[in-house]
Amino acid sequence: MTHPLTPSAAWQQMQDGNRRFVADEPQHPNQNVARRKDLTAAQHPVATLFGCADSRLAAEIIFDLGLGDLFVVRNAGQVMGESIVASLEYAVAVLEVPLIVVLAHDSCGAVRAAIDGTAIDAAPLPPHIWKLIAPIVPAARKVLAENGGTTVADIDAELVGIEHLRNTVRDLLQSSEIISNAVAEGRLGIVGANYRLAEGAAVPVITVGIDADGVNNEGTDVTKEGSE
Ligand SMILES: [Zn+2]
């Protein structure tokens, strides 16, 4: 059985929910006892979401969805890793979700820590935390180099967050044949979006295999710098 939604229709459903959330008109769908009972035999989520663990990015709330709607994987800074790839592959291969949403956000503490960690005199972080956020450091160095800065204070954290989001989507495609094949076959789309804390809007930054806001180019930036 193939999933009833196309990648574009799945993203449309998520965008509709996010617009309701932004407008303070949520419907809180699929959160009652009937829905809970419907789901006991099986789940057919609209999408899988891989996002930062930040408490302000509560996935079902910001996309106005409910039980059984999202297969959610999160860690601090949405950093790729074996367990992340495996979980997303499960969603694609077994649950046949048509969409992966990678969700970053502004004012991310993990991005901030990675930027601060590039300083020569940076205080050492606890080893597990450093191991997690180290993959964000190349994005910080790239932004510093491209903007001609020399110190941590010269690094624009929001640009680093967007660069890290692009890297994450690219790494996901490169690290999983199941995912890259599903995209190539048109069964799966990926949207890298940046969540804006103040407005509550999930703004698409990079898309792969999906038409988002009129753009349908693999790896194309929908909004440069993901803002304004
Ligand atoms: Zn974060």
Q: How far is the CA of 212 from the centre of ligand 1 (A)?
A: 23
Residue carrying the six token digits 């901030």: 112
Contact 143, 167 (CB under 8 A): no
What is the average pLDDT score of the chain?
A: 92
Cα of 134 to ligand 1 centre, how many Å?
14
Q: How far is the CA of 186 from the centre of ligand 1 (A)?
A: 30
CATH number of 7-107+159-226: 3.40.1050.10
pTM attached to this predicted model: 0.91
Quick: pLDDT tens for 109-124.
Answer: 999 999 998 888 888 9
How many Å apart are CA 106 and CA 159, to the nearest integer?
9
Which CA distances in Å does 17 have to 27, 38, 55, 67, 90?
Answer: 8, 21, 19, 14, 24
Which tokens belong to 98?
A: 């048509």
Question: What pLDDT is recorded for position 215?
Answer: 43
- At residue 212, the 3 state secondary structure works out as strand
Is there a contact between 108 and 55 (Cβ–Cβ < 8 Å)? no
Ligand 1 geometric centre to CA of 105 (Å): 6
Output the CA 108–ligand 1 centroid distance in Å: 4
User: Residue type for 167, please?
Assistant: N
Q: How far is the CA of 140 from the centre of ligand 1 (A)?
A: 15
CA of 3 to the centre of ligand 1 (A): 31
Task: Find the range with the poorest average confidence among 6-20, 59-73, 120-134, 209-223.
Answer: 209-223
Q: Report the separation in Å between the CA atom of 163 and the middle of ligand 1, taken as the mean of its atom positions.
A: 14
Ligand 1 center from residue 2 Cα (angstroms): 33
Distance (angstroms) between ligand 1 centre and the Cα of 115 equals 13
Please tell me the distance between residue 36's alpha carbon and the centre of ligand 1 in angstroms.
30
Q: Is the pLDDT confidence value at 224 over 60?
A: no
| Average of per-residue pLDDT across 117-138 | 92
In tens, the pLDDT along 144-168 reads: 999 888 888 889 999 999 999 999 9
CA of 67 to the centre of ligand 1 (A): 24
First to last CA, the chain: 41
Q: How far is the CA of 145 from the centre of ligand 1 (A)?
A: 23
pLDDT exceeds cutoff 80 at 225: no
- Strand intervals (E) in the chain: 47-52, 70-75, 99-105, 189-196, 201-208, 220-221
Helix (H/G/I), strand (E/B), else coil: 50: strand
What are the residue boundaries of the structural domains of the chain, listed by start? 7-107+159-226
Residue 217 — very low, low, confident or very high, per pLDDT cuts 50/70/90?
A: very low
* CA of 1 relative to ligand 1 center, distance in Å: 36
Alpha carbon of 34 to ligand 1 centroid (Å):
34
pLDDT, tens digit, 9 for 90 and up, residues 6-45: 999 999 999 999 999 999 999 999 999 999 999 999 999 9
Residue 40: CB atoms within 10 A of its CB come to: 7
